[in-house]
């Protein structure tokens, strides 16, 4: 499984300035709205944030993986942002979040989204993956860091 297949060129936002996870999610959803993938962005952001209230997706190591399934999309999509300033999301390790990986999937096929989420969970255990994302200063750098992990087989 190549995670890059679930991304779009414009779905990478380096050094995003935001004051909340909701703002970061809205910016990432907007990339998919502009690409014509999402037609009701407010609804999707609301669903992602509703899911977040059920249980934080801050997994530690400075990473949060907000996710939701929705009828708006027919396949899984990933968007990635690094944050200019970390957010305190009460992660279990106490570290501020500075990487947001948004995962959205179709409401009718939870298995597809679970496979991608499981792959992400394996990758984020590798510090080199997260460090590569953090070092990115442009969208091209973020894309390269995201693709590099597939090449190294992490």
| pLDDT higher than threshold 60 for residue 153 | no
Q: How confident is the model at residue 110 (pLDDT cuts 50, 70, 90)?
A: confident
State how far the Cα of 65 lies from the Cα of 82, in Å rounded to an integer: 12
- pLDDT tens-place string over residues 53-75: 998 899 888 999 999 999 989 99
Task: Count the domains in the chain.
Answer: 1
Q: Which two tokens stand for residue 60?
A: 């530690």
State how far the Cα of 26 lies from the Cα of 49, in Å rounded to an integer: 10
**Cβ-contact 146, 3 below 8 angstroms:** yes
CATH, residue 113? 3.40.930.10
User: Which has more pLDDT, 51 or 122?
Assistant: 51
pTM for this structure? Answer: 0.94
User: Which has more pLDDT, 1 or 18?
Assistant: 18
Structural domain for 65, as ranges: 3-152
**Cβ-contact 87, 66 below 8 angstroms:** no
Q: How confident is the model at residue 104 (pLDDT cuts 50, 70, 90)?
A: very high
- pLDDT tens-place string over residues 4-48: 899 999 999 999 999 999 999 999 999 999 999 999 999 999 999
Beta pairing class for 58-60 and 77-87: unpaired
Phi then psi for residue 51, to 5 deg, are -60, -35
Interhelix angle 41-54/21-34, nearest 10 degrees: 140
Q: Which two tokens stand for residue 120?
A: 């992400």
């Amino acid at each position: 499984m190549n995670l890059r297949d679930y991304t779009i060129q414009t779905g990478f936002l380096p050094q995003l300035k935001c004051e909340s996870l909701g703002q970061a999610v809205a910016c990432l959803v907007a990339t998919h709205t502009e690409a014509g993938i999402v037609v009701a962005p407010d609804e999707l952001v609301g669903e992602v944030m509703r899911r977040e209230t059920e249980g934080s997706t801050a997994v530690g190591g400075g990473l949060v993986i907000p996710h939701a399934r929705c009828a708006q999309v027919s396949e899984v999509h990933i968007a990635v942002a690094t944050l200019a300033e970390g957010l305190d999301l009460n992660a279990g390790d106490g570290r501020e979040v500075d990487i947001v990986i948004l995962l959205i999937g179709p409401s009718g096929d939870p298995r597809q989204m679970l496979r991608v989420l499981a792959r992400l969970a394996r990758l984020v255990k590798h510090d080199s993956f997260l460090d590569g994302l953090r070092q990115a200063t442009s969208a091209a750098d973020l894309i390269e860091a995201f693709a590099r992990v597939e090449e190294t087989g992490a």
